[in-house]
Amino acid sequence: MNKLSNLKIIEITERIYKISLFSSEQYKKSREEIYKLCYEMRSYATKSEESLSKIIDLHRELVKVQNARAASIENKIMGLLVDMCILIDIDNLDNLGNDLEEIRILEEKYEGNERLNLRLNSMLMNYAKEIINSEVTAKEAKAKRYQNRIAQALQLLSELNYCYEIKGIKEIFKSKMQDENKKIQYFALSGLENYYGTENAEELTEKEEKLLEKIIKKTNDRSIVFTCCQILINDGVFDESDAMSRMDNWKDKNRR
C-alpha cells in the first residue's frame, strides 16, 4: 500500500475514534460523517495488512470507551469485518490456524491478491478468537454490548469456516451453543452447521446429538430449531423427514 493510502486510513480511524468521545449532542451532528467515514474505510479494508491492522486496532480502542456512541461505532466496525471475510473469500484453502509457519506454507500455493487475502483472513480469524477468549467480569459478560461483540465474532468465524478448516473451531462453537443469549447461541449453532457441512468434520457423539435434541425441545426460537435440525442432517443423524417431524412437534408445542 502506498504512503498516501496509509496516511488516509490513519486519518479515518483517528477521526472515528475522536467522534466516539463526543458528547451526545456533538455525536448526533456527526452521524452522517460517521457513515461516510465507515464507507470510505471499507474501501481501504482489503488493500493491505496495514489497513486491516489499523481497523482492528480502532475496534480494540473503541471497546475500551464506555459510552453509547463508541458502542454504536464498535458495532458498525465489527459488521464491516464480518462483511470483509465474505468479500475476500478464496476457495480450496484449508488448515488455517494460528501457526504463522503454517500460513507461510499455504502462501506458497498462491501469489498476489490471493496471498494477501489469505493473510487478511488469517488476521480476521485471530481477532475473532481474541474477542471470544477475552477475559471479562461476570457483570461485563451480561452486558448487551459485550454479548453483541461475542455474537459478531462467532458470526465472523462461521463465515470463514465456509472456506477454511480452522483449528479448534468445533470446540469454540460448542462452548457457546447453550448460551442464554439467543444471538450468541444462534451464531454458535450456525457455525456448527457450517462445520458439519464440511467433508472433514468429526461425527457427532451421542452426547452431542442428545444435547441438540434438548435444545430443540427447550428453545422457543424457530431459527435455532431449524439450525439444530440442519446440523443433525449434515451429520447424517437426521434425514429430511426426521427434521420435518421435529419442526412440526416444535410448532405444535409453541403455537400461540
Q: Is 138 exposed, middle or buried (0-12, 13-18, 19+ CB in 10 A)?
A: exposed
Query: When comparing pLDDT for 112 and 142, which is higher?
Result: 142
Residue, of 60 and 251, whose pLDDT is higher: 60
C-alpha cell at 113: 491478491
- The amino acid that residue 209 corresponds to is E
Report helix, strand or coil for 196. coil
Q: CA–CA separation, 99 vs 102, rounded Å?
A: 5
Per-residue pLDDT tens digits for 10-64: 999 999 999 999 999 999 999 899 999 999 998 888 888 899 999 999 999 999 9
| Separation between Cα atoms, residue 148 and residue 82, nearest integer Å | 13
**Cell numbers 481474541 label which residue?**
130
Q: For 226-239, what is the HEC assignment?
A: HHHHHHHHHCCCCC
The pLDDT value given to residue 98: 47
Q: Is residue 225 predicted with pLDDT exceeding 60? A: yes
Q: For residue 100, what pLDDT is reported?
A: 44
Asked if 65 contacts 20 with a C-beta cutoff of 8 angstroms, the reply is yes
DSSP SS3 for 88: coil
Residue 237 has pLDDT above 70, yes or no: yes
Residue 6, pLDDT above cutoff 90: no
Q: What is the pLDDT of residues 184-204, one digit of tens each?
A: 999 999 999 988 887 777 888
Cα separation, 180 vs 216, whole angstroms? 14
pLDDT at residue 115 in the model: 75
Phi, psi of 99 (to 5 degrees): -70, 115
Q: What confidence tens digit (pLDDT) does each residue in 80-137 have? A: 999 887 656 555 444 555 444 466 656 666 666 777 888 888 889 999 999 999 988 8
For 183, the grid coordinates are 444471538
- In the predicted structure, residue 155 carries a pLDDT above the cut 50: yes
Kind plus residue range of the DSSP H or E element containing 55: helix 49-64
Give residue 86's pLDDT: 64
CB contact set of 78 (below 8 Å; sequence gap of 6+): 59, 149, 152, 153, 156
- Residue 96's φ and ψ, nearest 5 degrees, are -75, 110
The confidence score (pLDDT) of residue 10 equals 92
DSSP 97-164: -S-HHHHHHHHTT--HHHHHHHHHHHHHHHHHHHHHH----HHHHTSHHHHHHHHHHHHHHHHHTTT-
Q: How far apart are CA 50 and CA 4, in angstroms?
A: 13
CB-based contacts of 57, cutoff 8 Å, min separation 6:
13
CA pair distance 163, 86, nearest whole angstrom: 10
The pLDDT value recorded for residue 157 is 93
Q: Is 73 helix (H, G, I), strand (E, B) or coil?
A: helix
Q: What is the CA radius of gyration of the chain?
A: 20
